[in-house]
């Protein structure tokens, strides 16, 4: 009950942090989609690049998030204190599921369907636009969904480098050993992740063609 | 009568990648020609090279030798996608795009060719009626909502969409039950006469070949070992021809 009182008396701050958090995830996921989907498509055209590229994305994934945020700070352009650095780190984490699902979604299409498309006289671009992307859409969206949900969680750590978001309460709560404060950040972050998961799940189902 | 399709000394060798399969010759020195209104049936066992021959004609595979001439022009000089839009292609079973409706499937090549939507829609209705599917009932359905026979009808309609002079059919009725198959064969026989297309029809079913073919070509291990009318086929003494006739008897 004291949590509700906390939210009521700090409603402006809570809304601000929630907004920052959503923005961090939205911007980073959008950038990751803009990079990851084309890279995934490229891998289907250049199969020999698959191992090194997915391998690299995998390695990024294994870097502990707090460490990655720390590593990025001294870098020029990407680095520094604030939202820009946090977004760069979140993009790095979002890339792997998006690239991997784009690749497997397209490669998993029955080769006979692809050949039927080519047999009708589709150019490579038409095949991609009219056959491969629509048929792989559900798998690609599943990757974006995973990336988004993970992003909501990871973005709480962005507060450590001054990027704001709901993590601010968590770090503050840890610093002053106040469970209520930790919960004030963790609970909305968890609900946000669930909401994103449910929403993208609905979108995903619209693209399942069977 | 000029030939719509002329195939001269066609050959295809699997690209050698140092593997066991590398360098294997799948099609070896195959020559034939097909005129408008004529159906050439390519018969042969599985692996005899008949499907490969079809794919060489529309360049889903690149020939390693020989020449293909379409309407007097060498096919090698045309961009593959251009070439394929001018050739109707029907394959067994999975030829329809599963995420598109019947209307979108049939109207696909016209759409690629940039036809106006109203013209595409009118053409689709005309074609569905031609293959015996009520347009109002079927245009909005997806392939998985159709029976096997209905799918093949849609496949034939799609191949005819831009009225190409040449049709390639790869065992189009192979996956159907015997009754539906007989029905579609009869209807296709009727279409052949009305359309006046040059047709290459691949099958391993001798009876289907006799019913639909103006001429029959028999392939064995990549070579065309017999080419002639059904009558000549029956009289031939070639061992592979005899084997096929005995199997069908």
In this predicted model, what pLDDT tens digit does every residue of A84-96 receive, in sequence order?
A: 889 999 999 999 9
CB spacing of A116 vs B91 below 8 angstroms: yes
CB-nearest partner of A119 from B84, B93, B98: B84
**pLDDT at residue B217, rounded to an integer:** 95
Cα(A23)–Cα(A37) distance, rounded to whole angstroms? Answer: 21
Cα(B152)–Cα(B175) distance, rounded to whole angstroms? Answer: 10
**Taking the complete model, does pTM exceed 0.95, yes or no?**
no
Phi (first) and psi of residue B152, to 5 degrees? -65, -35
Q: What is the pLDDT of residues A90-127, one digit of tens each?
A: 999 999 999 999 999 999 999 889 999 999 999 999 99
Distance (Å) from the alpha carbon of A132 to chain B's nearest alpha carbon: 10
Cα(B236)–Cα(B245) distance, rounded to whole angstroms? Answer: 10
**pLDDT at residue B107, rounded to an integer:** 95
**pLDDT at residue A80, rounded to an integer:** 77
CB-nearest partner of A118 from B60, B96, B158: B60
Distance (Å) from the alpha carbon of A134 to chain B's nearest alpha carbon: 7
CB spacing of B97 vs A210 below 8 angstroms: no
**Closest-approach residue (CA) in chain B for A112:** B94
Whether the per-residue pLDDT at A209 is higher than 70: the answer is no
> B47: alpha, beta or left, given left = phi > 0 and alpha = psi -120 to 50?
left
Phi (first) and psi of residue A183, to 5 degrees? -65, -35
Helix B148-159, helix B178-195: angle, nearest 10: 20
Cα(A40)–Cα(A98) distance, rounded to whole angstroms? Answer: 8
- Most confident range (mean pLDDT) of A63-77, A121-135, B22-36, B181-195 is A121-135
Q: Is B85 on the interface with A (CB under 8 A)?
A: yes
Distance (Å) from the alpha carbon of A38 to chain B's nearest alpha carbon: 22
Contacts of A112 in chain B (CB under 8 A): 91, 93-95
CB spacing of B98 vs A115 below 8 angstroms: no
Q: For residue B180, give the H/E element and its range.
A: helix B178-195
Long-range pairs for A68-74: beta carbons < 8 A, 24 or more residues apart: A68/A92, A68/A93, A69/A157, A69/A158, A69/A160, A69/A161, A70/A161, A72/A161, A73/A161
CB-nearest partner of B94 from A112, A130, A134: A112
CB spacing of B81 vs A122 below 8 angstroms: yes
Cα(B135)–Cα(B124) distance, rounded to whole angstroms? Answer: 8
| Eight-class DSSP state of B76 | G
Q: What is the pLDDT of residues A154-208, one digit of tens each?
A: 999 989 888 889 999 999 999 999 999 999 999 999 999 999 999 999 998 888 7
pLDDT mean over B79-91: 92
């Amino acid at each position: 009950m004291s949590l509700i009182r906390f939210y009521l008396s700090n409603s402006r701050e809570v809304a601000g942090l929630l907004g920052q958090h959503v923005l961090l995830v939205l911007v980073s996921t959008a950038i990751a989609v803009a990079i990851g989907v084309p890279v995934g498509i490229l891998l289907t055209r250049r199969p020999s690049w698959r191992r090194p590229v997915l391998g690299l994305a995998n390695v990024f994934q294994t870097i502990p998030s707090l460490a990655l945020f720390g590593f990025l700070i001294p870098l020029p352009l990407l680095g520094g204190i604030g939202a820009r650095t946090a977004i760069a780190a979140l993009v790095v984490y979002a890339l792997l599921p998006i690239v991997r699902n784009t690749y497997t979604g397209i490669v998993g299409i029955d080769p006979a369907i692809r050949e039927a498309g080519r047999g009708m006289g589709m150019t490579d671009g038409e095949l991609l636009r009219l056959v491969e992307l629509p048929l792989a859409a559900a798998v690609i969206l599943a990757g974006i969904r995973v990336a988004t949900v993970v992003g909501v969680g990871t973005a709480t750590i962005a507060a450590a480098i001054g990027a704001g978001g709901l993590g601010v309460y968590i770090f503050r709560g840890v610093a002053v050993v106040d469970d209520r404060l930790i919960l004030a950040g963790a609970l909305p972050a968890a609900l946000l992740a669930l909401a994103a998961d449910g929403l993208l799940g609905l979108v995903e189902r619209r693209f399942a063609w069977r | 009568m000029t030939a719509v399709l002329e195939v001269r000394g066609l050959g295809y060798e699997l690209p050698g990648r140092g593997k066991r399969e590398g360098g294997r010759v799948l099609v070896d020195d195959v020559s034939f020609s097909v005129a408008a209104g004529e159906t050439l049936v390519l018969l042969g066992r599985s692996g005899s090279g008949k499907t490969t021959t079809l794919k060489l004609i529309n360049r889903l595979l690149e020939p390693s030798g020989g020449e293909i001439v379409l309407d007097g022009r060498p096919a090698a000089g045309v961009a593959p996608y251009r070439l394929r839009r001018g050739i109707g292609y029907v394959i067994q079973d999975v030829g329809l795009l599963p995420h598109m409706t019947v209307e979108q499937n049939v109207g696909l090549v016209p759409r690629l060719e940039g036809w106006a939507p109203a013209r595409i829609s009118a053409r689709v209705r005309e074609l569905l009626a031609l293959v015996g599917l009520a347009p109002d009932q079927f245009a909005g359905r997806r392939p998985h909502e159709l029976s096997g026979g209905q799918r093949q009808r849609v496949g034939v309609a799609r191949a005819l969409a831009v009225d190409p002079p040449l049709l390639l059919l790869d065992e189009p009725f192979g996956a159907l039950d015997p009754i539906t198959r007989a029905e579609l064969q009869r209807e296709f026989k009727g279409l052949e006469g009305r359309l006046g297309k040059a047709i290459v029809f691949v099958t391993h079913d001798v009876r289907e070949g006799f019913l639909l073919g103006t001429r029959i070509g028999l392939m064995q291990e990549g070579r065309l070992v017999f080419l002639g009318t059904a009558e000549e086929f029956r009289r031939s003494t070639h061992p592979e021809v005899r084997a096929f006739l005995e199997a069908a008897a």
